[in-house]
Structure formats: C-alpha cells, structure tokens
A and B are shown apart, each in its own frame.
Chain A
Amino acid sequence: MSEMRLPSALHAAPGSGAELLSELGLVLYCGAGIIFIVVVALALHATFAKPSPAGTRAWIVGGGIVFPLLTLFLLLNYTLAVGSAVAALESGTALQLLLDCFGIDAQKRIPPPSPGTMRVHVIGKQWWWEVRYEIVRGDTSTAVLANELHLPVGEPVELLLTTTDVIHSFWVPSLAGKVDMIPGRTNRLILRANTPGLYRGQCAEYCGGQHALMALYVKSQPRREFETWLQRQARSVTRPDDAFLLAGYEAFFKGTCPDCHTVRGTPATGKSGPDLTHVGSRYSLAAGTLRNHVGTMAGWIAGAQDIKPGNAMPDSEIYTGRELRALAAWLGSLE
C-alpha cells in the first residue's frame, strides 16, 4: 500500500471538495490577518499616541458599519457560491426554506444518483466504521468491509452515511468537509480525488469512550486497480488447504469469534463486529489503531481490551501460542 498522507484540510487532494475549501480558507486567513493587524495597530496607536479629537463617531460608522457590511456582503456571496460548488445545490420554495430551517426534510430528499455513480454505505458504530459497497443497485451485502474504503481516481463516489448507535461524524480532511451520522437519518456526501493516494479520516463527533480511536482510511486508486480490488472484496473465502492456516481457521471457530464476525463462505455469520472476509487486505486494525500485520493481529486478538479499552471485542485468553499465531496468519491471509 502507498504511504499515508498526513490528514490535513490544508493539503487537500486535487479534485476533491476539500481542495475548494482550502482555497476558501486561504482567502479567509488573508482577510482576517489584514483586519486583525489593522485593528491591533489602531488600538496601540489610540492608546499610546497623543490624544486627538479625531476619535469620533466617523470611526464607528466607517470601521464598525460600512466596512463590515461591505466585506461580509462580498464574503457571503462568495462563500455561498463555494458552498453550492461543494455540495450539489438543492432547490426549494419559501415554505420549504422554513421547514428546512429545522433540517426536517433532509433525509427524505436524497435524489437518485446519476447513473454509474458508485454508491457506498458507511455506517458509524462505537467505535468503528462499517463500509458496504452497492455493487448491484439496492444490494449492500456483497462487499462488506470495515474502516477502509476505496475510490476510483477522478470519479465521484456517493457515500450514504448512517449510524446504528450514537451520533458520529465522517471526516477525511484531505477529501471533504465532515458530515454527521445521525440516528434516524441518512446523510449524503460526495467524495472525489483526482490523484491516487491514501487518506486518513477520523470520527469528528464525540461518540463515547473510545471516540479518539475511531479512524478510517480512504484509498484512491486507478479505475482498473479499483475494480480488481472491489471484485476481490465481493468474493467469499474457502477453507484453507495449508495445515497451519487450517489450524488458524479451526481456532477461529473454537473461540467466540463467529458470534460477532462474519467471514463470507464459512459458517461465521455474526453481525455485531466487523466483517472479516478480507481483513487481511486492510491497512489498519481496530479502526486505525494499529497497522495491520500478523503481529498486531495476534496482539489485538489476545489483548483487545488492553489496546482499546471499552471496545466490544473481548480479550481472547483461550488460545495457545501456536493457535494464536495460526489464527492471526489465517486472518492475515484473507486478502
């Protein structure tokens, strides 16, 4: 996998919504910087210079009314235009505006995406992300993964954001502004990146105990590579032939793993934890807490509560050293 880019709204991916926002940011920083310097200079001058009758109401009218009115008027128009460019503008009537003030209709007006737009469901959970690709329209069960999503370079991908427990917020600063995931609602976000890269995101709405350890990765990759990856994600796994991996496979079913995890193609159909069908292909474990390799996998299985206290995965203390190594190896092989 390519190296991760530092998450930053200041270094946005080309072609992303965040790129527009970082340009907007530059305008804001420059404007604010100039105003700040002028006001502080005026304050120092007014305090230390000789008294002068020049300090009159004209200051108030000029500095307190005319200047901010003009500046804010321009700023508002400019930023509304940016806002429209970032999110597709939704039309509405005056009455609609009133209802909209309370965000009432937000969830009812998700228009069908333009044909061919990839649609991905991202579901926030304490404290990880479930990701479901809609390969066939309406079917979200074929490619299910966790804490990671991939985009074809240069193409917009539609995310439908929901939650099954508390409020979370989906934020990948290099790609787009954040959007909350709210019980009872479905929010929408369009992601796009024009160059290949690996981007980090993190839950931005405080969601309880381990809110700090709820990250995810977004990888943008060329179309062909993406398609290959997605087809592989949709595949089921089979019983391994290798004796060591088979030992791992059996260890998986010896423990309580299948109660919570699904591995498509095996009898493991648990729903509450992440789908592990292709866990070996993922960049991270435990929602960005650990880099994913055999060592961390074994460590995570044995000491999940030590690494991420309070999360739903128990420490597995039943395994022998060999079993643990075999289990980690088998899971790692699920690419």
Chain B
Amino acid sequence: MSAPPNALPRPAQELARLEQAWEPPQGWRLLSAVNNTYIGLFYIGAALLFLVLGGILALLMRTQLAVPENDLVDYDLYNQLFTMHGSVMMFLFAVPVIEAIAILLLPAMLGARDLPFPRLSAYAFWAYFVGGIVFFGTIFFDVAPDGGWFMYPPLTSYEHSPGLRADFWLLGIGFIEISAIAGAIEIVVGILRTRAPGMTLDKMPVYVWAMLVVGGMIIFAFPPVILATALLELERAFHWPFFLAERGGDPLLWQHLFWLFGHPDVYIIFLPGAGLVSMIVATMARTPLVGYEWVVLALVATGFISFALWVHHMFATGMPHLTTSFFSAASMAVAIPTGIQVFAWLATLRRGQVQKATPTWFVLGFFGTFVLGGLTGVMLAVAPYDWQVHDSYFVVAHLHYVLIGGMVFPVFAAIYYWAPFVSGKPLSERMGKWACALMFIGLNLAFFPMHIVGLSGMPRRVWTYSDTLGWEQWNMLSSVGAFVLAAGFGVAFLDLLLHLRPKGKVDSNPWDAGTLEWLPLDNYGVRSIPHVTSRDPLWDRPQLREEVERGEHFLPGTLTGDRETLVTSAIDARPQYVLRLPGPSWLPLLAGLGTAAFFLFLTVKSLVASALGGVIALVSIFMWLWQSEPAPSARLYDVGGGIKLPDHMTGSRSHSWWAMVVLLLVDATIFSCLVFAYCYFWTVSAAWPPPPFGFPDVTATVACIASWTVSATVLFLAHRAFGRSAPRVPLIVPIALGTAFAWIAFVLAFRALAQTDVRPDQHAYGAVLYTLLSWQGLHVVLLTLMGGYTIARAIAGRASAMRRNAFDNTRLMWYYAAVQSALGCLVVHAPRMM
C-alpha cells in the first residue's frame, strides 16, 4: 500500500487554524451559516416540517371521506386541501428533501469540505423556506389554490378561476422551482468538481451517481414547468390566450409541458431513494453492491427513458392509437432498469450477512411497497387498461405506493442509517422498529383498498360520495390506515426529537460502512482530504481513518486562512486548484427573503412592496457576488504528495464556468420549450399565421440579428484583447458598446412585431410571438445587469487577466443570448419555408 501524501508530524498551529477558519457562527447568528452541514440540516428539517403539514391536510381529507356524505369540510375547502396536499408534498417536501439530503451528505461522501457554492445552497434554502411557509399559509386565509396540483387550464385560467388562488400556485411554485434549480447546479458542479483526489467516476458511491443523474434531470425537467407556469400566469394576468381554444390556444399544450416535467419528476424523487437504498443495502449486508456498473447504467438509463413517458398521463385525451402504443412501450421499458436495481439489491442481501437494524427494516418495507407500486405502474402503462383506472382512486393508490414506498421509506431508512453521521450515535432501535411497522401497516391499509374503490368507479378529487355505490367500507379502511401511517411518522419524529443531537465533531461508524462520510468529521469536514483508490475506501484501507484524522492526506489545514476545498478534474479527479470558500453571511438570507417577497407581493399585486423585495434580492446578490472571486495569489500551495496548486483558475477549469454552463442549459431548455410551443400552435392550426395575421417584417428581423451579431462580436474581441493590455479599457468600452447593440437589437425586434397588427391578447399566435420577444427582452436586461456588474468590477480593480471569471461568465451569457435571440427571430419565420 502506498504511503499517504503528507508526512507526520503536522505543524503545531495547523489544526487550530483550520478550526478557526470553519468556526460556525454562534447563537442567533447561526442563521447566517452557509456551510453544508448547517444548511443541509436546516433544509431537511424544513422539508420534514412540510411533510407533517402536507400530512395533516391528508388526514383532514381522509376524515372527510371516512363516511359517505360527510360534511366535516365543504367542497371549497376540500378542493384546496387536495390541491395543497399534492403541491406541498411534491414541491415543498419531495424535491426539497432529496436536495437537502444531498447537500448534507454529498461533501462528506466526496471527501470535500463543502459544496462549491455554499451561499447558493443557503439562498436556495431560504427562498424555499420563506416562500413555502407563506404558500402554505394561504390555506388559513381561504386563498389556497384549488385547481389540483397539476393545475389544468382552462379550469385554472382567469375565466374559471378568478381571484388569487391560482396565482399563489403559479408564482409560489414558480420560484420554488428556481430554488430547486439552484440546488441542482450546486449538486452537479459539486459532484463533478469537488471529489477527493483519485475518486474517478467509476469509484463514486452509487448514491452520488444517482444524484448526478437527478441533478441533470432537474436541469432539463424543471424548465418545461417553469415556462408553463409563466405562460399560464401571462394568460391569467394579461389574457394572452395560450390555453384557450376559442382564441387559437390549446389546453393540451399545458398538459404536454406539465408532464414533460411531471414524469421525470417522479424519477427525480425516486432515483435518490434508490441511490440511498444501494448504499444502505451494501453496508447492512457488509458486502460491496453486486453489479455496481449495472446499477449505474440503470440509473442513467432511467434518467433518459423518463423523458419519453409523459404522454402516459394523457392516454384518455383521445390520443391516436399509434401514439399510445409508443408511449405505452416506453413506459413499460422503464421497468427494466428498475428491475436491474431491485435484483442487484436482492443479490447483495443474499451475499452478505445482513445486520438486523432499523435501516434494514425500512429497506424491507421499501421492497414490500415499492415493488407493488411498480407493478401497478406497468398496469397504467397499458393504455387500454389506463382508460379505466386513469384519474380514479386506483391511480391515487399507485402513486402513493410508488412515492411513499419508493421514496419515503428510503428516506426514513436513510434518516436511521445516517443519524450517527449527524449526532454520533444511532437513534432508538425500538422506536425505529415501531415507526417502520406502523408506517408499513398504515401505508398498506390506507392505500391498498384504493385500488379496489378506484376500479369500482370512484374518481379521485371528490369531496364526497353517495352511500349507494358500495365505496364506504373501502374508504373507512383507507381512513383508518391513514391514521396508522401518521402514527408511524409520529413515532419516528418523536425519536428524532428525543435522540438526534447534531454535533460539530463526530467520530462514528456504527454500521461499519465503507464510504468516506463515515470518516471522523468536524465543522471543517475531514481533517485531511483522503486519497481515494477504491469504491469502498474504508473497507479497503482500514488505516485510512487514522491517516485522515492525523492530517496525513491532502490539504490538512488551511493554506490561505480561508475556508477551502480541493477542486479536481471532472472525470479522473486529479487535483486542479484550491477553492477558497466564503464564510458565514447574512446576504443569502436577505436575498432569499427578497426573492420570496418579490414573488409573493407580485401575486397579491402590491407592486411597490414587490419591487422593494426585488431590489433587496438584487442588491444582496450583487454584494455576495462582489465578494466572490477573491484576489488570486501568485504563489502555488503545497497540498501534499508533492502536488502544488494555485488558489484560482479561469476559463473552463473554473468551477464557476461549469455552473454558468449548467445555468445556460437550463435557459436553453426553457427557450426550447417556448419554441416547441410555437411549433405546436403552428401544427395544430389549419393556417399559419392564422388569418388575418401576417409574419413580422423580415428586414427588421434581419437587422435585429445583425445587431446581435455585432454585440456578441464586440464581446468576443474584448475577450481576445483582455490580458494583453490594461484591463479597464478592453472591458468597459466593449461591454458598454455590446449592451447598446443588444438594446438596439431588442428595439428592432419589438418594432418588427409592433408594426404588424398582431397583438398578444387576441390569439395564441400573438401571445407566443410576444412571449418570444419578452424572453429576448429579459435577456437584454440580464446582460445589462451582468455587464454593469463586470464594468463595476473592472473600475474597482477587481478584474485582471487572472481574475476574470465574472467577465467570462458574462461573456458566455452574451454569446448564448445572441444565438438564442437570433434563433427566436428565425423560428417565427420558419413556416414561410413550408
């Protein structure tokens, strides 16, 4: 075995300096903490709070439905209850909790001290938490959304849902989606760039693979629903008819966009659960996961296939037979990668001596429920069968088996499994067993009868039912089961309250696991970042714990005095530079509050308060960015093993460049969905443009594209010149010029449209054209802000040839915006060529 990279003894002050750099803020200042161990716990706590709140709504519904013709709640409240239950569980519990667990666990699993953008995680958390609480609070003021969690128009449009209820959903959920994307960027860049040296892609723990796939899925799955919510809000606020059939819109467009998000979302929720199970199974059986490569391949395959399934939510819309056949086959195909994982877990359990403890019981509970949910899922994939059970209680049963079985059970297995990682010792074995048993019995009792009552004709989302239909005994069973399930959650939460005491310093590996998160940890993470040579380093190198704790591995202290972690290359994890991380700050909290205030006050149409929130958010974000990219040092730092690294990098090696690219992928996906909407309207219409409308002026369009070309070229020239001369001139002048040309381009595009007789509120054609234009305008505003920020940095002397990430990111956005705007102009004219 090779010797560890750093020699003993370590310098006397090294540990003290490391501790000082990572000193957490005390008392109420804890709210300004940004490192993942704190944000991760806040985040999980908030998500579990929403699980409880969403659960209470469910219990109210089950009480109402326990007996026929009950009048505990009226139809109006009931409709709010099920809408909020679905929305809270999907958007405020399920997606956040999987991101929260990742934020808590990933750095330790990767051997990193923190994620690469601690303040971004903090911002994502605060925006979500504050926004989520206000969103939930609407139920107490009788303004909670009541259109169902998938909000089908035209029911949710202005005519059939006047008032604020639907707006709370659209704006509230809209920005929680933004928070989810912020989390995904953090997770993807963290996984790709902050792994311990030597942890090549094929040595990553399976859970990390799952989160990498899920991060990628969020990046492509959330944009469709972000666009859809924006379009529906435009329709509600300004009567732009995207989904109104009488003015050229189509309600099915919403369903396509929503399920293009909604179905991948199911796997965004399930795959992390599967990843957690893979980790727990291997440890509890004390043997490496059988078929690691197969499982990884299955995760990736699921990610891809999940984007080709969405139409199976629309089998009853009168789809042609061929369509349903295709999506039926694709929906069945996803059972194969899931089957691979299930049999990999079974084989692993078979190979090893399984530890009989609470995580194992939850994993068995997962098998006993998730497999049933998967099998009913195959039934739903059978289109003709789906015609019967779609939108009935059968579907309610199926989705709860899949989500509670496939995600909540693994999450609770994980809570029991990783509790010692947080507090140094396991939770109560006795209470864990009770919680698991009650949850398993409750889940089956509550949801199994729903299959039968659904087949007996009971549609979902009904606030009452008649006693003449033979549904009452099944409903009573379900209601009893719901309370048993709730009791199971209650026991688990009680256990957490009584026994979970998070500690800064933890040295515990009670299950004898093989992965890095079980190394001794403190506020700074690991004492030194291990050199990884296998998939289960703790099993394969028993002395690693002591080596790491003594500081014999990489980066055993702080080199710059700041918080730091190692940035490594994406595929083979070779050390590249020392990343200086920001410490505690109130700015993410302020920015999160400002963002939440912006959206929520916008919803209730308090424009002044909304603008104030927006300004607070913008100023906070600018201030936090201003502190990023500290002045690079010219020297190289010795991190151990003879490796000397800079504390900074620019261009495509920089972690910030990667984050920017991911963000642009999100942006491009939103734009693609908008282009899809345009083409969709084009194909559903008999004539395009729909008479009496015409195309926008070609000359103006060409001039607009030319202006964008000039704008982007100027930035490109600045990029070439940058570094050769003093930084101020080649930055300030070209950016100012580029901004001017971007505005000229936008004005040209606007005029091209304004000169026609097309208006956004007459027809879907005008609505989508003006939305394309608005999207271009939004990017011009964004470029103005980013350009102004870059100029400010140049004036303040915070830009140089070595310190140019702000400029490079602005430049990337510039190229992207130019290409996108040109494509946006061109696609409008595409039908001319047909």
Contacts and interface: CB of A to CB of B under 8 A. Distances in A.
Interface of A: 4, 6-10, 18, 20-21, 24-25, 28, 32, 35-36, 39-40, 42-57, 59-60, 62-65, 67-69, 72, 75-76, 79-80, 82-84, 86-87, 89-90, 92, 96-97, 99-107, 109, 126, 165-167, 169, 171, 173-174, 176-180, 182-185, 187-188, 200-213, 309-310
Nearest to A186: B318
Given A67-B339, A86-B384, A212-B464, A204 B391 contact: yes
Interface in B325-376: 325-329, 332-333, 335-336, 339-344, 346-354, 360, 364, 367-368, 371-372, 375-376
Nearest to B253: A102
Interface in B274-298: 285, 287, 290-291, 294, 298
B321 interface: yes
Contacts of B287: 51
Given A9-B389, A64-B294, A79 B384 contact: yes
Nearest to B394: A9
Most buried by A among B326, B341, B455, B463: B455
Contact of B367 (A43, A96, A173, A180): A43
Contacts of B372: 32, 36
B352 A51 contact: yes
B323 A100 contact: yes
B545 interface: no
Contacts of A45: 350
Interface stretch (B32-40, B152-160, B627-635, B648-656): B152-160
Nearest to B152: A167
Contact of A76 (B332, B344, B371, B386): B332
A9 B456 contact: yes
B392 interface: yes
Given A52-B351, A60-B294, A68 B251 contact: no
Contacts, number: 312
B671 to A, nearest CB: 19
A106 B683 CA distance: 12
Contact of B347 (A56, A103, A171, A174): A56
Contacts of B74: 309
A32 B379 contact: yes
Nearest to A54: B350
A35 to B, nearest CB: 6
B160 A208 contact: yes
Contacts of A48: 354
Nearest to B79: A209
Contacts of B327: 101
Contacts of B351: 51-56
B395 to A, nearest CB: 10
B75 A68 contact: no
B250 A184 contact: yes
Contacts of A7: 456-457, 469
23 contacts: A21-B385, A21-B387, A24-B384, A28-B378, A32-B378, A43-B367, A46-B354, A59-B347, A60-B294, A64-B343, A65-B340, A72-B336, A76-B329, A87-B384, A90-B320, A97-B326, A100-B320, A184-B250, A187-B317, A208-B160, A209-B75, A210-B75, A211-B461
Interface in B293-330: 294, 298, 311, 314, 316-329
B148 interface: yes
4 A-B pairs closest in CB distance = A177-B387, A184-B245, A55-B350, A7-B457
Given A32-B379, A167-B155, 20 more contacts: A8-B456, A8-B470, A10-B456, A21-B387, A35-B371, A43-B364, A55-B352, A60-B294, A60-B347, A64-B298, A89-B321, A96-B322, A102-B256, A102-B683, A104-B684, A166-B160, A171-B457, A180-B318, A182-B245, A183-B154
Chain B interface SS verdict (over half): helix
A169 B316 contact: yes
Contact of B323 (A39, A103, A177): A103
Contact of B350 (A36, A51, A68, A97): A51
A24 B382 contact: yes
A309 B318 contact: no
B459 interface: yes
B245 A63 contact: no
Contacts of A211: 79, 459, 461-462
Contact of B379 (A6, A28, A82, A165): A28
A58 B327 CA distance: 30
Contacts of A42: 346
A46 B349 contact: yes
A310 B384 contact: no
A176 B388 CA distance: 7
Contacts of A208: 79, 155, 160-161
A211 B148 CA distance: 12
Contact of B388 (A6, A21, A90): A21
Contact of B346 (A63, A209, A210): A63
Most buried by B among A51, A96, A107, A169: A51
A184 B249 CA distance: 9
A53 to B, nearest CB: 6
Contacts of B368: 40, 43
B319 A64 contact: no
Nearest to A203: B459
A64 B75 contact: no
Most buried by B among A42, A43, A84, A169: A43
B75 A39 contact: no
Contacts of B325: 80, 83
B75 A212 contact: yes
A60 B75 contact: no
Contacts of A21: 384-385, 387-388
Contacts of A65: 336, 339-340
A211 B161 CA distance: 14
A166 B383 contact: no
B387 A212 contact: no
B460 interface: yes
A47 B291 contact: no
Nearest to B451: A29
Contacts of A310: 75-76
A213 B464 CA distance: 8
Given A103-B252, A183-B154, A9 B349 contact: no
Contact of A57 (B154, B291, B462): B291
Contact of A180 (B160, B317, B392): B317
A95 B488 CA distance: 53
A101 B311 contact: yes
Nearest to A184: B245
A203 B470 CA distance: 18
A48 B316 CA distance: 45
B693 interface: no
A47 B360 contact: yes
A44 B367 CA distance: 10
Contacts of A178: 316, 387-388, 390-391
Nearest to B324: A83
Given A6-B470, A177-B387, A179-B387, A57 B290 contact: yes
Contact of A212 (B147, B155, B465): B465
B316 A28 contact: no
Given A9-B456, A103-B317, A183 B245 contact: yes
